[in-house]
Structure 1
């Protein structure tokens, strides 16, 4: 790997395919993620680097879809766009811009915010602007009118069925980008029916909608052909094994392909079907990430849509027997928990690792992201949001909220202690495979560190 990047931004390929299908063929990417010197020592963007990248990619329209923590960066880039090209149109959308649409639309460098899904709204907006029409006629749109008033158009478009979404613009990035990334992201279904209080899944819907299997396989082949057949696939579906019958159909197709290895994420209660476990192992699954979050059952009742912890050991044992390595998502800082509850949760996860029921665990600090129930009504969960400095809404930073049980500093101290505890637990030989070694030339060094 030349650079340590997780993945290519899947939404760009996806939306690029939509725009190509509507006749917008002159597409480009402003790549600041891997640009040397783009981010300074204090975590701010280097304005000169940003300007140079924008000058190299002049455009009529710039599209932004930042995660919450990157919203300040996106604003800064948008300001540079307006400084260099005042007539360029700046459009925001995505998981952060949707719940914060009014706030984002009032930023002086933002022209329009497309809320929720954009497969219809964005092409309609571009068509309207080209014809100098009235953007009020476009659905899923929020913007500031010339008189300063905030306009939210009064209708939304129906979601485009997955089977009708155009094929992604796979070649949006240079093929050499395949040397920069850890895996290729793929999606089988859009949507998740569970209502976790810390989740922002509303931007793609509650009802899962599945892509045709032949389309999914064609995407995988196309991405691997361009960026490297050596790459694992990471399934971005929040609950990959939600419906056993759908899952089994896909796994049979993957097994037939014969050379695809992949990781996936799901819920504990979606791993109880022995057929699915066997098919996962036979079809190339090497790593299953499970949202265990916490060892406190009461927290699951309130925040995790009533997930039960009693089957944990049995499910993990059967996964291991099937040849599947299990990794947990562990979350620190639930507002109903004391500091001792938080510590016991991490100790519980470490014990599962010690007993070879888990191979590893990620660790995240709880973040009440915009769009989540926690952000919309923090008092309901015993939380007080301290600020809206979105650049600090990050799983590795001190919490942006306080509770009756703990201050942000106290919660963060438990988080830092937990990093050490998990690192120690994962330092032993894994029950599948061997510990990661760093070769002399440094290739693969990214994987050698603890995944916390």
Structure 2
């Protein structure tokens, strides 16, 4: 079959944002290619939501199935793409996937232009759906596909959940389908495909993956690194996993293998309580040049409730990384449900301490994404969700109020904090 995959675009791109290739969709694409299907992949972040271009792409690709992936922020644009597909040819089935779809599958299936949803990892679900479509897509076949949502006799049907892929069965993303020359550092983005066992109330990862802990074999990861070095001239790779250092044994094996094979530098994201001084210096010795920590708040009472880390550990981690020669970026969010003027002042002061220690500061608005505790228990936590215009769920707009702050007050405080630290609020 001919399959056309669209990555839904953001409406407004921050000048500080780095445009990265859609790895998740590229994994689905390669899985389908390996099954013998013809696949096109179009990232509309490169061109914007241009109806004429989308129609031209549909005319060129002549797809038997269109797949559309989106995050919460890009979901309205995903719906616009689906409407264009149906306007072009109502007989083309449309499959939705991505984090927003996985969390709110029934809401997505209720849309007239959406025929199917893939919940969780989409590789196998998409491949089995294509096979079912080739064979006539009878309802008996559809209900046997784990992770698929579909429309029965006028009723939305969600099949049994799909188990995540075994680490050894994870393939490679179809980088050959991406216009890599248009991305910043596009060749160097890799995923070890690890999960996150933590349940931070502002993050939907636990809802999506249920505490999944899984890492690809080190040899496979470094074979992919070798491929992007050979094929695209990459000299640096960034691992996009939430917590690369979660499994210390795996990380030690990775660093040993990097020392043996070498030839590149690398960066990652992790938690401050999943590193120590010796680990960070070892990471630097094996080529780690950048790391991002999610610190989120500078008030210990707030950290106890939303992150479970200690301020001292955060400052120690930043100092150790900087001492080892690793560039450090630290993200903060405001406000949390129990934040007060006092705790926000503590956060601003701690951000100044982090910067003095050598860390770059990143600040954003706390956003109650679907699938998070802040979304699902908003009333209990004293949160008022102001809008469900998903396009505003970009961490740059205030979409909620707390028991202590109006949106206008938080915006003013955020501006004061940013100005006091010499930051842009979009950083």
Asked whether the two chains share a fold, i.e. TM above 0.5, the reply is yes
Matched, 1:165 2:170: yes
Report the alpha carbon displacement of residue 387 of structure 1 after superposing the two structures with TM: 2.2
Cα distance in 2 for partners of 1:20, 1:204 equals 25
> Shift of the alpha carbon at 1:180?
2.9
Q: Which residue number corresponds to residue 6 of structure 1?
A: 19
Tell me what 2:410 maps to: 411
Secondary structure class of the residue paired with 1:96: helix
Q: Distance in 1 between matches of 2:312 and 2:370?
A: 31
Q: 1:30, 1:57 within 8 Å by CA — same for their partners in 2?
A: no
Q: Which piece of structure 1 moves more, 101-110 or 112-121?
A: 112-121
Matched positions, count: 407
Matches of 1:11 and 1:410 in 2, distance apart? 37
Contact 1:192–1:208 (8 Å) recurs in 2: yes
Structure 1 position 228 matched with structure 2 position 233: yes
- Which residue does 2:289 correspond to in 1? 286
1:30 maps to which of 23, 32, 42: 42
Structure 1 distance, partners of 2:118, 2:143, is 12
Aligned 8 A contact 1:19 1:123 in 2: yes
What does residue 86 of structure 1 align with?
90
Unaligned runs of at least 5 residues, structure 1: 39-44, 425-448
> 1:119 maps to what in 2?
123
Contact persistence 2:28–2:126 (CA under 8 A) = no
Q: 1:312 aligns with which of 302, 311, 314?
A: 314
Correspondence 1:15 to 2:28 = yes
Answer yes or no: is the 8 Å Cα contact 1:61–1:90 preserved in 2: yes
8 Å Cα contact 2:243-2:270 kept in structure 1: yes
- 1:334 matched residue in structure 2: 336
- Once residues 249 and 281 of structure 2 are traced to their aligned partners in structure 1, the CA distance between those partners, rounded to angstroms, is 13
Which residue of the partner structure matches residue 58 of structure 1? 62
Tell me the residue number matched to 1:362. Answer: 362
RMSD, aligned CA: 2.2
Q: Deviations over 1:28-47 (max 9, x none)?
A: 12232212xx3xxxxxx343
Aligned to 2:156: 150
**How far does residue 422 in structure 1 lie from its aligned partner after superposition?**
3.4
Structure 1 position 402 matched with structure 2 position 415: no
Q: What's the secondary structure of 2:316's corresponding residue?
A: helix
Say if 1:313 and 1:181 are closer, same or farther in 2 by CA, change over 3 A.
Answer: closer
2:102 is matched with which residue?
Answer: 98
Q: What's 1:431 paired with? A: none
| Runs of at least 5 residues in structure 2 that lack an aligned partner in the other structure | 1-14
Counterpart position of 2:12: none
Change (3 A) 1:48 1:292: same
Return the offset for 1:293. Answer: 0.6
Counterpart position of 1:436:
none
2:218 is aligned, of 205, 213, 218, to: 213
Cα distance in 2 for partners of 1:387, 1:187 equals 33
Which residue number in structure 1 is paired with residue 422 of structure 2? 423
Deviation of 1:107 (Å) = 0.6
**Cα drift, residue 335 of structure 1:** 1.5
Cα distance between partner residues in 1 of 2:299 and 2:320: 23
Contact 1:178/1:227 (CA < 8 Å) preserved in 2?
A: no
Matched, 1:182 2:195: no
Structure 1 contact 197–374 (Cα < 8 Å) conserved:
yes
> Shift in Å at residue 451 of structure 1?
7.8
Residue aligned with 2:63, SS: coil
Are 1:140 and 2:147 matched, yes or no? yes
Residue by residue over 1:266-285, the C-alpha shift from the partner in whole angstroms, topping out at 9 and shown as x without a partner, is 1111112x432122101111
Task: Give per-residue Cα distances to partners, 1:399-441, cap 9 Å, x unaligned.
Answer: 21111100112112222333333336xxxxxxxxxxxxxxxxx
